[in-house]
C-alpha cells in the first residue's frame, strides 16, 4: 500500500515522501498516529507540488546565504577564557557564545542551534566548528581559545574577541591599532 508521509518516520522517509508499506502497518500504525495518509492520485499530486515548492524554497535560501557562508568560511575568532592550571577552562565556551560572536561580527543573526558543537569547548587551543546555515551550506570556523592574561593570538589570525566569567560573553572586533605591545 502506498502512503504519503505527513511527518518524518525513522527508517521509512521524511515528510512528504511517498512510501510503499504493508497494509497492516499503514492501517494500524501510520494512519491512526497521524504519520501518513493513503496515497490517492489527488494527494500524490499535492505532495509532489509541496515537495517541488520546498525544493525551490531551499534553493532560494541557499542562494541568499551563499555570500554569508563565503565570508564565514575559514574565519578565526578568538575567545578569552579563565583557565586552570592544567589548561582546562573554568566553565566552557558553548554554541551560544560562538553564535553571539559570529552574529556581532557578520551582522546577520546566527542561531545557536546552527552551530554544530558536539560538546562545549573546555580546553585552550584551536577548535574547528561547523556552522549549518541552510541546506548544504556548512562553513567551518576556527575558534581559538586563549587564557585571560595569556599570550594573545597574532592580529592577522584573530578577528573577533570575547571574554566573560564562565567562558565567553560579548564580542569585540580586534584590530591592529587596538593591540598594544608592552616591553
Distances in whole angstroms, Cα of residue 144 to Cα of each of 27, 122, 159, 161: 54, 12, 10, 9
pLDDT at 180: 37
Residue 21 above 90 pLDDT?
A: yes
Q: If you average pLDDT over residues 11-28, what whole number do you get?
A: 91
Query: What is the tally of helices (H) and strands (E) in the chain?
Result: 3, 11
Question: Rounded to an integer, what distance in angstroms lies between the CA atom of residue 21 and that of residue 165?
Answer: 55
Q: pLDDT tier at 151 (50, 70, 90 boundaries)?
A: low
Confidence of residue 150 (pLDDT cuts 50, 70, 90): low
User: Which is more confident, 162 or 20?
Assistant: 20
Sign of CA dihedral 39, 41, 45, 46: negative
Amino acid at each position: 500500500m502506498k502512503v504519503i508521509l505527513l511527518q518524518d518516520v525513522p527508517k521509512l522517509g521524511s515528510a512528504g515522501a511517498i512510501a510503499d508499506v504493508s497494509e497492516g502497518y499503514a492501517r494500524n500504525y501510520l494512519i491512526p498516529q497521524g504519520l501518513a495518509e493513503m496515497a490517492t492520485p489527488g494527494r500524490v499530486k499535492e505532495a509532489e507540488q509541496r515537495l517541488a515548492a520546498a525544493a525551490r524554497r531551499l534553493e532560494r535560501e541557499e542562494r541568499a546565504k551563499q555570500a554569508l557562508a563565503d565570508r564565514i568560511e575559514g574565519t578565526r575568532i578568538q575567545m578569552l577564557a579563565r583557565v586552570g592550571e592544567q589548561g582546562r577552562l573554568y566553565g566552557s565556551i558553548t554554541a551560544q557564545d560562538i553564535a553571539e560572536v559570529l552574529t556581532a561580527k557578520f551582522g546577520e543573526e546566527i542561531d545557536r542551534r546552527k552551530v554544530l558543537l558536539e560538546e562545549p569547548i573546555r580546553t585552550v587551543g584551536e577548535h574547528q566548528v561547523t556552522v549549518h546555515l541552510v541546506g548544504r551550506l556548512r562553513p567551518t570556523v576556527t575558534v581559538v581559545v586563549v587564557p585571560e592574561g595569556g599570550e594573545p593570538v597574532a592580529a592577522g589570525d584573530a578577528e573577533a574577541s570575547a571574554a566573560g566569567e564562565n567562558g565567553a560573553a560579548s564580542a569585540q572586533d580586534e584590530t591592529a591599532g587596538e593591540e598594544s605591545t608592552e616591553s
